[in-house]
């Protein structure tokens, strides 16, 4: 039996300033320790002041995740010693005596209908960024700290341990990312904007927390490793201790960092500098009415409006940029099923293979419309379309320009194709004989013709010509 729960930490990147001070949130690529002030450095005597927009964004997220918003904002001090915490406590929230989380309850539905419950959502400040010069905790001789990130507004979204497979954790995070992007509160493509701690336990062992994993794919890999590690330990008669571990993304292993604290070790108590802040029902309802179209609703609209499958709509909406690209392209190209197929089976698959997100692509609706019309008109084959896709995505070149420069138009000259087909049949007599009895083998011969013509042969015409030649219709 495996139990998996997640603690997801989300930067509210849409905010202009940090959670408790006026330092800008645009700290990416800035010189280390330059986007700081006495408040986010935790200097003695510095007084924090709550960012009201952070509260409003937190309420948006709570409502989108079907949670119940608290009637007040209550901040506490969470004490622990670690190098990234300058003042040795973090301003956070705690669901206990004298305090309350900003949101409780809620859920996210996965593709197979499984429900992952949300336990609570906390608002808290982010600590500093820990940097290992070699990129690995195991091989670095020293550690660096960059406080530019310190004080950024974090939402900690804590799930119940409802997941039992690493795949479910990845899917949950992808769904959550889509919700956050549709709300417009977080640009999840920014480094560190969405991180997760995975709590993993197997039957017979204690719960282990794997900290600061950077992407849904890495979360899946880390959990797979941790399940295997814990099971191997138990099989050897060893005890799986409750502890905190670090995911080493380079080596694809988890390594111990410290013994896992119990709740009482954090010595939570209300922050005396931040008295409770009332949250009116009127404010919550105003925010509820202003919510944009969310992923589940958008999926159903795409199915109805464009007559594509629910599966295709779900894949498109998993990434807001991809769904937006589909809808913008659909304004000028009306074979929606073909458009969805190109985006999912070719465009997105290629991006995933290269570990890229749709936001990193230079392909615009104009590029896709031109590419699809070239396919429809028979100017290029699908194989050519796949071949030029990298240049379209990475360089933003128009498909027509690439085809002209590289001479990639589809070959439809029957006389030329017949000549190539006869060469292939001569070189592949066994395959030709099998193809006379089994039409499926013809696809093998088509592939050989495509190879000889640099993928330029029209596959449908080639298939027809091969059938004619094998049946004796063409001399």
Provide DSSP, 137-193.
Answer: TTT-SS-EEETTSTT-EEEEEEE-S-B-SHHHHHHHHHHHHHHHHHHTS--TTSTTS
Question: The pTM is what?
Answer: 0.86
Q: What does the pLDDT read at residue 413?
A: 65
- Give buried/exposed letters for 310-329 (b at 16+ CB in 10 A, else e): eebbbbbbbbbebbebbbeb
pLDDT in tens, 97-153: 778 999 999 999 999 899 999 999 999 999 999 998 887 777 889 999 999 999 999
- Cα–Cα distance for residue pair 112/37, rounded to 1 Å: 47
DSSP class per residue in 230-295: HHHHHHTT-----EEEEEETTTTEEEEEEEPPPGGGG--EE-TTS--EE--HHHHHHHHHH----H
Joined tokens for residue 344: 């999912």
Instruction: Please answer whether residues 5 and 199 qualify as being in contact, where contact means their C-beta atoms are separated by less than 8 angstroms.
Output: yes
Q: What's the whole-number mean pLDDT along residues 377-403?
A: 89
pLDDT in tens, 46-59: 999 999 999 999 99
Cα–chain center distance at 475:
56
pLDDT in tens, 388-399: 999 999 999 999
Q: What does the pLDDT read at residue 461?
A: 79
Q: By percentage, how much of the chain surpasses pLDDT 90? A: 68
């Amino acid at each position: 039996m495996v139990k998996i729960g997640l603690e997801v930490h989300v930067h509210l990147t849409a905010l202009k300033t940090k959670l408790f001070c006026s330092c800008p949130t645009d700290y990416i690529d800035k010189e280390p320790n330059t986007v700081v002030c006495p408040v986010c450095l935790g200097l003695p005597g510095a007084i924090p002041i709550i960012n009201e927009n952070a509260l409003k964004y937190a309420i948006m997220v709570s409502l989108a995740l079907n949670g119940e918003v608290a009637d007040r904002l209550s901040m506490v001090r969470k004490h622990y010693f670690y190098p990234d915490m300058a003042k040795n406590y973090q301003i956070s929230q705690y669901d206990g005596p004298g305090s309350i989380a900003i949101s409780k309850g809620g859920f996210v539905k996965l593709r197979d209908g499984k429900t992952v419950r949300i336990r609570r959502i906390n608002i808290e400040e982010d600590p500093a960024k820990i940097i290992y010069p070699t990129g690995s905790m195991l091989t670095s001789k020293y550690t660096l700290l960059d406080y530019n990130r310190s004080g950024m507004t974090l939402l900690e979204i804590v799930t119940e341990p409802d997941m039992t497979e690493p795949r479910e954790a990845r899917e949950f995070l992808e769904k959550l990312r889509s919700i956050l992007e549709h709300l417009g509160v977080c640009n999840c493509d920014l480094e560190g904007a969405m991180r997760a701690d995975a709590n993993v336990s197997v039957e017979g062992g204690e719960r282990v927390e794997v900290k600061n994993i950077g992407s849904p794919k890495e979360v899946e890999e880390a959990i797979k490793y941790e399940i295997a590690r814990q099971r191997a330990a138990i099989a050897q008669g060893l005890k799986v201790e409750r502890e905190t571990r670090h995911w080493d993304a380079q080596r694809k292993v988890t390594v111990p960092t410290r013994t896992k604290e119990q709740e009482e070790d954090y010595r939570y108590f209300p922050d005396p500098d931040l008295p409770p802040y009332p949250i009116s029902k009127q404010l919550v309802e105003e925010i509820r009415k202003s919510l944009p179209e969310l992923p589940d609703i958008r999926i159903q609209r795409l199915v109805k409006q464009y007559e594509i499958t629910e599966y295709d709509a779900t894949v498109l909406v998993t990434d807001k940029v991809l769904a937006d690209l589909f809808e913008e392209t659909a304004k000028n190209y009306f074979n929606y099923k073909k458009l969805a197929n190109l985006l999912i089976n070719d465009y997105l698959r290629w991006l995933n293979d290269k570990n890229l997100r749709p936001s990193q692509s230079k392909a615009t609706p104009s590029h896709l419309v031109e590419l699809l019309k070239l396919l429809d008109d028979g100017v290029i084959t699908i194989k050519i379309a796949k071949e030029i896709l990298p240049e379209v995505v990475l360089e933003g070149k128009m498909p027509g320009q690439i085809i002209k420069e590289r001479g990639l138009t589809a070959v439809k000259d029957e006389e030329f194709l017949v000549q190539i087909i006869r060469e292939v049949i001569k070189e592949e007599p066994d395959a030709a004989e099998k193809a006379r009895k089994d039409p499926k083998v013809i696809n093998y011969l088509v592939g050989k013709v495509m190879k000889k013509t640099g993928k330029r042969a029209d596959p449908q015409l080639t298939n027809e010509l091969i059938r004619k030649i094998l049946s004796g219709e063409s001399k």
